[in-house]
A and B are shown apart, each in its own frame.
Chain A
Amino acid sequence: MNPSVDALRTTFGDAIGRAEAARDGETIAFVRPDRLTDVMRWLRDTPGQAYDYLVDVTAVEYRDRERALEVVYFLRSLERHADLRVKVELDPRGELAVDSVTPLWAGANWLEREVYDMFGVTFRGHPDLRRILMWETYAEGYPLRKDFPLRGRFSRAEQVRQALNANPEAHYSLEELSIAEAFDEVPAEMRERLRRGERGKLPFDE
Chain B
Amino acid sequence: MEELRYVFPQRRPSTYFLNGVTVVKRVSKEISGSPNWLVTKFDELVNWARANSLWPMPFGTACCAIEFMATAASRYDFARFGMERQAFSPRQADVLICAGRLPFKLAPVIRRVYDQMPQPKWVISMGACASTGGIFDNYAMVQGIDTVVPVDVYVPGCPPRPEGLLYGVLMLHKKIKGESLALPALRDEQPLDAKGLRMPPDEIDEISEPFGNSVHQFRSS
Enumerate B77-111 residues with CB–CB distance to A below 8 Å.
Answer: 104-105, 107-109, 111
Is B142 within 8 A of A150, CB to CB?
no
Q: Which of these binds chain A: B123-131, B160-168, B170-178, B197-205?
A: B197-205
Enumerate B159-218 residues with CB–CB distance to A below 8 Å.
Answer: 192, 195-198, 201-202, 204-205, 208, 217-218
| A135 partner residues in chain B, CB cutoff 8 A | 104-105
Is A149 within 8 A of B204, CB to CB?
no
Is B142 within 8 A of A163, CB to CB?
yes
Which one, A134, A161, A166, A167, contacts B201 given CB within 8 A? A161
Q: How far is the CA of A143 from the CA of B197 in the complex (A)?
A: 24
Residue A11 interfacial (CB < 8 Å): no
Residue B219 interfacial (CB < 8 Å): yes
Q: Is the interface of B mostly helix, strand, loop or mixed?
A: loop
Is A160 within 8 A of B108, CB to CB?
no
Residue A155 interfacial (CB < 8 Å): yes
Instruction: Write the nearest CB–CB distance from B154 to chain A, whole angstroms.
Output: 18
Q: How far is the CA of A164 from the CA of B148 in the complex (A)?
A: 8
| A150 partner residues in chain B, CB cutoff 8 A | 137-139, 217
Residue A153 interfacial (CB < 8 Å): yes
Instruction: Write the nearest CB–CB distance from A11 to chain B, whole angstroms.
Output: 43
Enumerate A145-202 residues with CB–CB distance to B below 8 Å.
Answer: 148-168
Q: Is the interface of A mostly helix, strand, loop or mixed?
A: loop
Closest B residue to A156 using CB positions: B208
Enumerate A114-141 residues with CB–CB distance to B below 8 Å.
Answer: 134-135, 140
Q: How far is the CA of A162 from the CA of B196 in the complex (A)?
A: 9
A75-109 interface bits toward B, Cβ cutoff 8 Å, 1 = contact, 0 = none:
00000000000000000000000000000000000
Q: How far is the CA of A154 from the CA of B219 in the complex (A)?
A: 8
Is A168 within 8 A of B139, CB to CB?
no
Is B202 within 8 A of A157, CB to CB?
yes
Closest A residue to B105 using CB positions: A135
Which one, B107, B112, B221, contacts A160 given CB within 8 A? B107
Is B196 within 8 A of A155, CB to CB?
no
Closest A residue to B102 using CB positions: A163
Residue B36 interfacial (CB < 8 Å): no
Task: Give residues in A with beta carbon < 8 Å to B.
Answer: 134-135, 140, 143, 148-168
